[in-house]
Amino acid sequence: MKSEFTLPIGKIRQIKGQCISLIGNDIDTDRIIPARFLKCVNFDSLGESVFKDDRETLKGRHPFDLEENKNAKILIVNSNFGCGSSREHAPQALMRWGIKAIIGESFADIFYSNCIAIGIPCFTLPKKSIQEIQNQSKVNKFLFLEIDLKNSLAKSKDLSLTLEIKKTSRKMFLSGQWDATSTLLQNENLIENKLNDLPYLEFNSHVT
């Protein structure tokens, strides 16, 4: 697990980082974070348990256990990633391990939405392009990508890829609108004014 973690806030326009490749289709949320870890009262410690069962099975050979991947930020996956039960803990666990963006062939819809809601952009590429990145990762264990959200581009020394992302999602990241909490806090006055205008509520902003 990473020693440092900060929650993303506001506008997200660029993501730079080392890639970590996870090969396999239909990797579901129960594999990402096993059900027994859903009893937590907050998400803070979930990063320690991401892919817990898979990692125990592989006894230190899982990509999330390899020393060369400890600083990785960009996850490369195959098709239908995040399928299965609609647990928000799955992207939370990935984020707290250190993942800041995911590039894959395809994503389960609810997993995709849960990622967007916490500031993890999910991009898609054709199968051939994903395999190219994964092959590059085998040759170069420290494959580094720069993602430009505005232009939907990912570049490294040897790669230049045009990423696909939903227009609405890209707009939310570039504007910061994905961050609902910050958006609410920035519009506190508008919220109070609206409450004061509602005839069926008695609201006094000076009451504590």
Alpha helices in the chain (DSSP H): 29-32, 52-58, 89-97, 109-117, 127-139, 167-175, 180-186, 188-197
Q: What is the pTM of this model?
A: 0.86
> CB–CB of 107/81 below 8 Å?
yes
Residue 207 has pLDDT above 60, yes or no: no
Residue 183 has pLDDT above 90, yes or no: no
Higher pLDDT residue, 200 or 158? 158
**Which residue segments constitute the domains of the chain, with CATH numbers given?**
14-197 (3.20.19.10)
> Could you read off the pLDDT of 98-152 as tens digits, one per residue?
999 999 999 999 999 999 999 999 999 999 999 999 988 888 889 999 999 999 9
CA–CA distance, 129 with 191 (Å, rounded to integer): 46
> Could you read off the pLDDT of 47-106 as tens digits, one per residue?
999 999 999 999 999 999 999 999 999 999 999 999 999 889 999 999 999 999 999 999
CA–CA distance, 171 with 177 (Å, rounded to integer): 8
